[in-house]
Amino acid sequence: MVTDGKGVDAGLLQTRYRLTKQRAAILRALEDGAHLTAEAIHERVRAELPAVSLGTIYRTLDILRAIGLVQVFAHGGAARYEAALDKHHHLVCLACGEIVNVPAPQVVSIALAVAQDHRYSGVDAAMVITGRCARCAGLARNGIGLS
């Protein structure tokens, strides 16, 4: 075991430091408000830490989630991570894939009323609204082929 002058395990310190670096890099990758898959986060983090593996990204994301620094949003395909921590819902454009955070506090009261009818407690609700964003709707109107 390698120790520094104070008898601290240098290997452990190094591991901790690496973890901290990875956490910071992941949080930086998410700071533009994006909702990214672990693969996309991996791509961004590798620009900064080329040696980091996808497995490490997943493990670090689990830690960040456990300590409340990222949230997960899943719609359709893979889970997406984001650094926004407030309770919010999502608008998803089916044409370009844009994901917008929306507060929509009314959702909670609807969910509570429905849950009460079924005698559910510990209620949580997440709303996903899909559609076409203004930009994509405009492109479609102008006859630029969007289904």
What is d(CA 101, CA 24) in angstroms, rounded to the nearest whole number? Answer: 23
Per CB under 5 A, does 136 bind Zn ion? yes
Task: Say which residues have a Cβ less than 8 Å from residue 88's Cβ, sequence separation at least 6.
Answer: 101, 102, 103, 104
To Zn ion, the closest distance from the beta carbon of 96 in angstroms equals: 3
Burial zone of 26 (CB within 10 Å; 0-12 exposed, 13-18 middle, 19+ buried) = buried
Minimal distance in Å, beta carbon 132 to Zn ion?
Answer: 6
Q: Enter the tokens of residue 100.
A: 């917008």
Compute the least distance from the CB of residue 93 to Zn ion, in Å.
Answer: 3
Interaction mask 71-110, Zn ion, x per CB under 5 A? -----------x----------x-xx-x--x---------
Residues forming contacts to Zn ion in the complex (CB under 5 A) are: 82, 93, 95-96, 98, 101, 133, 136
